Each structure stands twice: as C-alpha cells, then as structure tokens.
Amino acid sequence: MKLIVGLGNPGGRYERTRHNAGFMVVDAFARKFRIEIDRHERDAFVGKGQIAGRTVMLAKPQTFMNLSGEAVSKLVKAHIESLDDLVVIYDDIDLPVGKLRIRQGGGSGTHNGMRSLLASLGTEKFPRIRFGVKGDDYAEARDLADYVLDDFPAADEPKVESTIGRAVDALAVIARGDLSRAMNQFNRDPAEGEEKA
C-alpha cells in the first residue's frame, strides 16, 4: 500500500493558502479517483481506495503544520512496512509557482512541516513532491510565515490549478509503483511537454 500524505493546516481559514498546497493536491487526487477522506485516525483525516489494483491511503494531518510528523509517524507505523511506500506532498517557497520537484529523499529546507517529519521519522529518505508556491509577488524582505499563510492571488490560480493536476498525475504514476518514471516525467517544466499519466 502507498501512504500519500498532503501537508497543510486544518480549518477553513487556511483552505486556499500557499501552505495548504499539499492538502489541495490530496483533495484533487481523492476527487479524481473517487476516494472519500472521511475517517479520523491517528490525528489525521484518511481515506482508502484503489488505483490499478493497488491500495492507496490518503491522509491530511490535523495537527497543524509544525507538528505534522506526529500524525505521519503514527500512520507510517500502523500501515506501511517501508518508507519507500510513503509519499509526502508539500509547498515549497524555493520553487516558483507552476513547478514540481519529485525526489527520493532530501532535507527539509525552510519547511517546518517537513522538519517535523524528519525528526519524527528519524530519516530524510522517503519520496516527496515539492509544489512551488513562490509567486511574482514574493519579496525577499517579506516575512516568510506571512507569505505562505496568504491565499494564492487570483493571478496565480490558473497556474496553481494546472500544477495541482500535474501533481495528481504524478501521484498516480507513483501509486502504480514507478517513482523513477514520475521523476523523469514531472520534474521537467510544463513547457517541455509531458506524456499523460
């Protein structure tokens, strides 16, 4: 089974913020594959479904971003045997809006949610999808926390929606067991062209 975790903050006030890109992708994935995320388990909302005969569990931690690792580590212990079967999707301020980066591992950068995951799991070796949220309105002198907790501006919404769609397609490839193909296909810029998942 693949455990697909989107990082974000619970509550309506955060729903369309940059920091909730992970939740947005998981919700879109759930809609596409008709998976109900309607059960509360181990500090997360979860739902299970099937993709190409493979079981996936979707999860949205409800601990708030800075404590994401607490919920994720509980789900990992309960449901998967290897961290190769964990995929985490989260916003990345170091990538511009419209870009995805899929990696087999790596550090947390400036992301507090990922910092919490690495501390709770005791390793940085698990697959992840970084979702670019740095818009043209980003100013280096601006407070980072304020920026990621703002909603995406209307001008960025078309690109955000397109990137959510690409992230869902990437997750579908990963769920079928082909992380390498997802990296090769979706780490390219959209302008370079991609095959459909």
Cite the active site residues: 19
Please give the single-letter amino acid code of residue 105.
Answer: G
Calculate the CA dihedral of residues 9, 13, 15, 17 and round it to 10 degrees.
Answer: -80
Burial, 27: exposed, middle or buried (Cβ in 10 Å; 0-12, 13-18, 19+)?
A: buried
**Residues near 81 by Cβ (< 8 Å), separated by ≥ 6?**
none
DSSP assignment of 118-134, as one string?
Answer: HHHHT-S-S-EEEEEEE
DSSP lists the bridge partners of residue 186 as: none
For residue 52 the two structure tokens come to 């190409």
**Residues near 186 by Cβ (< 8 Å), separated by ≥ 6?**
100, 102, 166, 167, 169, 170, 173, 194
